Structure 1
């Protein structure tokens, strides 16, 4: 077998092993990349996946937002958060609606919760009070 052929096989395997997709969170054992707390809350966890397929888990949306201050955001392929009404399910963070309300505690005390739909967020706001944010508004709130 030629060296060139082996090199092509190795290159193909390397490219195929760097898939950009979410990784299931192992609640109770995975640790937050930002604060090192164990992820246990299925309604507030978050995850980013880089364009090279590396996955970072966070115990709360606020930990992810604070981590994003320290990295080149152009290297992030996926921003994901747990939807409050569907615990444990990761949703697209850029399309979520966020509620900051003292009526819904989050693991790090920012009272920040993500919702898959604006209607669900508005319903929670009516029940618990607080302010609604889009992804861009939330990013501005967490700017350094």
Structure 2
């Protein structure tokens, strides 16, 4: 009986090790991190984005527009996870689940005019306090006409 218990425990440990890999965001270092697309320093951390590749490497971006350019050029097959800063809380949120607000007059580091929020309520509250904008989901960004970047 003890032998069977040991076999079950070993199999359980092996299966846990084969589970889905977790890709977590890392902190931005404004002194050394530069945008993968435009090579600008990340001086406005509150607009930063990052992709964690399946091999564990990080690609850092100063604006959601640069992150989207990277995905358009490279595809998302090697992307383990992607994160953007929440404008309401300055915390990392999932790029694919975020709610976006676009207005070509919004200031962002590369003038894409898109900011991210974790929820639609956060986005609407921000729009009530600021200039109006349009709400978008991630899939909408794939075909968005990006203001000055048309």
TM-score by length of 1: 0.78
Q: Supply the distance in 2 between the matched residues of 1:129 and 1:103 (Cα, whole angstroms).
A: 10
CA distances 1:3-42 after superposition (whole Å, capped 9, x unpaired): xxxxxxxxxxxxxxx9733221112431101100000112
Gaps of 5+ in 1: 1-17
Q: Please tell me whether the aligned partners of residues 19 and 53 of structure 1 are also in contact (alpha carbons under 8 angstroms).
A: no
Q: Supply the distance in 2 between the matched residues of 1:27 and 1:48 (Cα, whole angstroms).
A: 17
Larger radius of gyration: 2
C-alpha deviation, 1:85, in angstroms: 1.1
Hey, what does 2:57 align to over in structure 1? Answer: 54
- For residue 79 of structure 1, the aligned residue among 78, 82, 85 is 82
- For residue 100 of structure 1, the aligned residue among 94, 99, 102 is 102
Q: Please tell me whether the aligned partners of residues 41 and 62 of structure 2 are also in contact (alpha carbons under 8 angstroms).
A: yes
TM-score by length of 2: 0.75
Q: Supply the distance in 2 between the matched residues of 1:47 and 1:96 (Cα, whole angstroms).
A: 14
Measured on the aligned residues, the alpha-carbon RMSD in Å equals 1.8
Q: Please tell me whether the aligned partners of residues 47 and 58 of structure 1 are also in contact (alpha carbons under 8 angstroms).
A: yes
Q: Supply the distance in 2 between the matched residues of 1:125 and 1:55 (Cα, whole angstroms).
A: 31
Corresponding residue SS for 2:111: coil
Where does structure 1 differ by over 4 angstroms across 4 or more consecutive aligned residues? Answer: none
Hey, what does 1:15 align to over in structure 2? Answer: none
